[in-house]
Structure 1
Amino acid sequence: MDIIQLESSRLQLRGWQEKDRTSFYQLNSHPTVMRYFPSVLDRPQCNHLLDSIIAKFSAQGGWGVWAAELKSSGELIGFIGLNIPSDTLPFSPCVELIWRLKPEFWHQGLATEGASAVIKFAFEQLNIHELVAFTAVPNTPSESVMKRLGMIKQPNNFYHPALPDGHWLQEHVLYRITASD
């Protein structure tokens, strides 16, 4: 299976390589990166997650959650891509736009830049008619990216089914963007 690669002016979105496991672990075990998730991930959890991400490329015809690499240095800075959530959500089925970057690459427009390339690909190449993005209510930095991407906030929040009742991250905002937007 050939993995589709995407580019933006500063980023290469590519398939994952074995050498990426350490950077992937550093990203997902970083307390600041994971502050709006239930917990940081340990190495076995990271390996399981990365194996799942890699497997989805084959199942989905070469697209998925790409490794985000700076073109200028070749450094892996995180991931950006498309995900089909495994949880049954109030708006399932759906295709989710996701991103996660190392903190030293925040506030540089990289998430927005990479996600814009992914949106263009999803609408123009995959003919997906709608993408969603969601995050816990306190995660205003990710919500700001959704707004910069031109996504539209939906009027009703939802409670993420993977989190227990009363968990401080359970309530989520939902944004959508369609090809006609």
Structure 2
Amino acid sequence: MEPIFELNSPRLLMRRWRDDDLPAFAAMCVDPQVMRYFPDTMSRLESAAMIGRVRGHFAELGFGLWALERKDTGAFIGFTGLCVVGFEAHFTPAVEIGWRLAREHWGLGYASEAAWTALGCGFERLGLDEIVSFTAKINLPSQKVMQAIGMQRDPADDFDHPNLPNGDPLKPHVLYRISRQQWLQTLQG
């Protein structure tokens, strides 16, 4: 499959990563507010390694986490995309949708706009039957995005993240899902 390196939404260009994205990405990943629902902030080296993994995902599978660029300013603001879940759980194998935006771009609807575009790619171009998303139970902002794009939660699907230690407040996770059929119904209004 030819990699899908670019998607467009009304206000955003979802594109392949460039080397000059690293400074803004690293600044975002060292921000304790941006990373408050992750185990820790990321160093510049860890941020560069993540970009490398994302590029590898595109090379191997043809899709991944797209860099987000505002069309009006050309500014890099974060990422949104699709990736294969990297651990075993009751819902895997699965493709998840995820996002991370720099703090100054929160509350403007960019995460939902980009996530909706990524869902369309997943269902229309990749032919996926279902897409999942998960986050720490305490991460209400991401759950609001999941709800805004039509994803549904069944509390029976909630799980403890296997890569986090017992007692970590981030370990309890919620799982949201959306099927191709649900997405089509959302499209029809």
Q: Say whether the fold is shared (TM-score over 0.5).
A: yes
- Give 4+ residue runs of structure 1 displaced > 4 Å after superposition: none
CA offsets 1:46-93 (integer angstroms, 9 cap, x no match): 1111110111111012x1100000001110000000011212122110
Q: 2:59 aligns to what?
A: 58
CA offsets 1:86-108 (integer angstroms, 9 cap, x no match): 12122110000000001111111
Structure-2 separation of matches of 1:47 and 1:8: 26
Gaps of 5+ in 2: 183-189
| Contact in 1 for aligned 2:5/2:66 (Cα 8 Å) | no
Per-residue deviation at 1:154? 1.9
After TM superposition, the score normalised by the length of structure 2 is 0.92
Aligned CA-pair RMSD: 1.0
Judged with a 3 Å threshold, the aligned counterparts in structure 2 of structure 1 residues 131 and 2 are, in CA distance, closer, same or farther, namely closer
Structure-2 separation of matches of 1:75 and 1:126: 28
Q: 2:139 aligns to what?
A: 139
Judged with a 3 Å threshold, the aligned counterparts in structure 2 of structure 1 residues 42 and 147 are, in CA distance, closer, same or farther, namely same
Structure-1 separation of matches of 2:168 and 2:3: 40
Gaps of 5+ in 1: none
2:176 aligns to what SS in structure 1?
strand
2:181 aligns to what SS in structure 1?
coil
Structure-2 separation of matches of 1:154 and 1:77: 31
Question: Structure 2 matches for 1:14-163, cutoff 5 A?
Answer: 14-61=15-62, 63-156=63-156, 157-163=158-164
After TM superposition, the score normalised by the length of structure 1 is 0.96
Structure-2 separation of matches of 1:124 and 1:167: 38
Structure-1 separation of matches of 2:178 and 2:124: 14
Aligned AA (1:48) = A
Aligned AA (1:132) = V
Per-residue deviation at 1:3? 4.2
Q: 1:175 aligns to what?
A: 176
Structure-2 separation of matches of 1:86 and 1:6: 24
Structure-1 separation of matches of 2:44 and 2:102: 17
Structure-2 separation of matches of 1:68 and 1:121: 15
Aligned AA (2:54) = I
